[in-house]
A and B are shown apart, each in its own frame.
Chain A
């Protein structure tokens, strides 16, 4: 069987064939005074090749912390991260460098992630120089111009500054920069959340085209379930640092089983006035992930209810 996106292997529950990324029991805790924030608790997941795995959840559920650990921007408290079959969890800066090339990230705010005093072409060229892939000169310039065209910008824009671009254009520049090193994994951390809907749709289309052309894998972090339904092959739902449900896009959206997944889906406003619903006037809020020393959350136990569909057991 070829490594098709979302193809579920027979072995471990929820695993994919020949995954690009395999995360095992990844945990991150932050001390706050005498207490501890349990940001991510023993999360295990895999990302297939040319696959988009979306991680959804509300503020503070740990989705960005998880993504930052996977690309080694944040040191995990415990757990393992494998990229392309190599355990990169404990690699030092130098040993990690060749692996870093394979994973790039695009952040939410394209204004904050571009240096305002630097021509955008230089921002896109920088990773190529840092990794010694190219030297300054006409060949590099040509390569940067090509990248601009790949993301739908004009090659002549390379000499301009970030403030001369709209938000959507800036996000395209950030995507060009992420693509410069021809990565295998791109983490998109709320990468389209700050964009107006028409621009958001265009950037999402671009990301899908790039995936089809280059076989990219995406780790797509988002709070927006309607966008996630559009872009993802598989979906992990996070709640208080743990995955409560994981499955194919169809499994999560058409057959949600965990009460929290259902609650999230029910809350999404539907762009159809005839489907307006009466909402229960709940005042419920998500409990705190801060625990006193020596205490902590109960770890969820996952049940595989059908191949590839994991659900946390509920009382």
Chain B
């Protein structure tokens, strides 16, 4: 088993990862590298395997669901420089890595927060658990984190319950919690999909600033090409469990090599694309497989 990272500067390297659910292959031998301080977007449509990829890196795919990592490796470089294969890491050690060195934020902050504890409690819990701080130090850290994610009046906000906050504020709390242990890698799975567009803009801007401030490397899982264009340095395009194409954000948007990437980009409505025209206009679709023809192919 190799345990050095070939692409020397990568903090995380996924190699030939395969994940199955029973007889279904959800992720089929995919590979990509995440570089320090960079944002890698994994983009694809429903069922492409992008969220399973994220859960596999966290080694959450086997917990609570019947997913199995059946092949490949996920090499992770710890802050101390040592490299481990997360696929072969014991659950007990994963618990030290998860939330500490690699943390994750999800789409729906309301279901990720415990409704019966104050948000301050929940942020403090993360740092008490992972960094061994006592209650006072943990609260201080929570205030710092709330300031970091630009939550106004952090001291009062700490004592609120999740339902007392808006969706945008809750997602800030989730980001505060995820960053509270200074993770090397932050995985964000559709972090702005449930938010209104003006709030989405605030959260994307915040995430970009925080990356500059903390130096964390980010994996952004999204279906939205607009979000990809706003935040990504590198892009991995997934379709039907496979990686279709990998490249810099400029390569993917300006010179996509694969037909699938081109069809995905052609289907994206672009603000401003209609300027100067009076009537609505159809999408000029290229090479998209029509969904109208064959019935009975729904995955459910």
Shortest B214–chain A CB gap in Å is 15
Q: Note all chain B residues with C-beta closer than 8 A to A264.
A: 197-198
Complex CA gap A80/B156 in Å reads 46
Contact A172 B292 (CB under 8 A): yes
Taking CB atoms and an 8 Å cut-off, the chain A residues in 275-295 that contact chain B are 275-276, 278-285
Q: Say which one of A33-41, A88-96, A225-233, A298-306 lies at the interface with B.
A: A225-233
Complex CA gap A201/B279 in Å reads 17
Contact A199 B296 (CB under 8 A): no
Contact A5 B196 (CB under 8 A): no
Interface 0/1 of A141-163, CB less than 8 Å to B: 00000000001111011001001
Contact A233 B205 (CB under 8 A): no
Shortest A107–chain B CB gap in Å is 18
Interface 0/1 of B192-230, CB less than 8 Å to A: 000011111110111011000000000000011111111
Contact B202 A270 (CB under 8 A): no
A127 at interface, CB cutoff 8 A? no
A28 at interface, CB cutoff 8 A? no
Taking CB atoms and an 8 Å cut-off, the chain B residues in 256-287 that contact chain A are 263-283, 285
Q: Note all chain B residues with C-beta closer than 8 A to A156.
A: 295
Contact B198 A263 (CB under 8 A): yes
> What band does the interface of chain A fall in when counting residues whose beta carbon is under 8 Å from B?
35 or more
Q: Note all chain A residues with C-beta closer than 8 A to B279.
A: 5, 233
Interface 0/1 of A200-231, CB less than 8 Å to B: 11101100110000000000000111110111
Complex CA gap A5/B278 in Å reads 10
Q: Note all chain B residues with C-beta closer than 8 A to A242.
A: none
Complex CA gap A229/B274 in Å reads 7
Contact A269 B300 (CB under 8 A): no
B side interface size, CB within 8 A:
65
A140 at interface, CB cutoff 8 A? no
User: Assuming the A-B contacts A169-B298, A250-B275, are A270 and B230 also in contact, with contact meaning beta carbons closer than 8 angstroms in the complex?
Assistant: yes
A77 at interface, CB cutoff 8 A? no
Contact A281 B275 (CB under 8 A): no
User: Assuming the A-B contacts A197-B223, A269-B226, are A230 and B283 also in contact, with contact meaning beta carbons closer than 8 angstroms in the complex?
Assistant: yes
Which among A157, A166, A197 is the interface contact of B264 at CB below 8 angstroms?
A197
Contact B249 A166 (CB under 8 A): no
Shortest B115–chain A CB gap in Å is 20
Shortest A128–chain B CB gap in Å is 22
User: Assuming the A-B contacts A264-B197, A269-B226, A282-B202, are A197 and B278 also in contact, with contact meaning beta carbons closer than 8 angstroms in the complex?
Assistant: no
Q: Note all chain B residues with C-beta closer than 8 A to A230.
A: 269, 273-274, 280-281, 283
B253 at interface, CB cutoff 8 A? yes
Q: Which of A152, A226, A233 has the most CB of B within 10 A?
A: A226
Complex CA gap A223/B288 in Å reads 25
B290 at interface, CB cutoff 8 A? yes
Q: Note all chain B residues with C-beta closer than 8 A to A226.
A: 226, 268-271, 273
A112 at interface, CB cutoff 8 A? no
A272 at interface, CB cutoff 8 A? yes
Shortest A167–chain B CB gap in Å is 8
Q: Note all chain B residues with C-beta closer than 8 A to A151.
A: 292
User: Assuming the A-B contacts A202-B290, A281-B209, are A254 and B275 also in contact, with contact meaning beta carbons closer than 8 angstroms in the complex?
Assistant: yes
Shortest B198–chain A CB gap in Å is 4
A52 at interface, CB cutoff 8 A? yes
Q: Note all chain B residues with C-beta closer than 8 A to A30.
A: none
B159 at interface, CB cutoff 8 A? no
Contact B288 A201 (CB under 8 A): yes
Complex CA gap A198/B43 in Å reads 13
Complex CA gap A62/B93 in Å reads 50
Q: Determine the residue in chain A with the shortest Cβ distance to B198.
A: A267
Complex CA gap A233/B277 in Å reads 10
Contact B280 A232 (CB under 8 A): yes
Contact B200 A267 (CB under 8 A): yes
Contact B232 A273 (CB under 8 A): yes
Contact A204 B205 (CB under 8 A): no
B117 at interface, CB cutoff 8 A? no
Q: Determine the residue in chain B with the shortest Cβ distance to A205.
A: B282
Q: Note all chain B residues with C-beta closer than 8 A to A160.
A: 295-296
B166 at interface, CB cutoff 8 A? yes
Interface 0/1 of B229-263, CB less than 8 Å to A: 11010000000000000000110010000000001
Contact A202 B288 (CB under 8 A): yes
Complex CA gap A201/B287 in Å reads 13
A312 at interface, CB cutoff 8 A? no
Q: Note all chain A residues with C-beta closer than 8 A to B276.
A: 250, 254
Contact B285 A205 (CB under 8 A): yes
Complex CA gap A254/B295 in Å reads 41
- Can you list 30 A-B contacts with CB-CB less than 8 angstroms, sorted by A residue number? A58-B198, A166-B291, A167-B46, A197-B268, A198-B263, A198-B288, A200-B269, A201-B283, A201-B285, A209-B282, A226-B268, A229-B271, A229-B273, A230-B281, A253-B275, A264-B197, A264-B198, A267-B198, A269-B200, A269-B204, A269-B226, A269-B230, A271-B228, A273-B253, A276-B230, A279-B202, A279-B208, A281-B209, A283-B168, A285-B168
Q: 3 closest Cβ contacts across the A-B interface? A: A269-B226, A279-B205, A152-B292
List 18 extra interface pairs beyond A52-B280, A163-B298, A169-B295, CB under 8 A. Answer: A172-B292, A196-B45, A197-B264, A202-B288, A209-B282, A224-B197, A225-B197, A226-B271, A229-B269, A230-B274, A250-B275, A268-B197, A271-B229, A271-B265, A271-B268, A273-B229, A285-B169, A285-B199
Chain A residues at the B interface, C-beta cutoff of 8 Å: 5-6, 52, 58-59, 151-154, 156-157, 160, 163-169, 172, 196-202, 204-205, 208-209, 223-227, 229-233, 248-250, 253-254, 263-276, 278-285
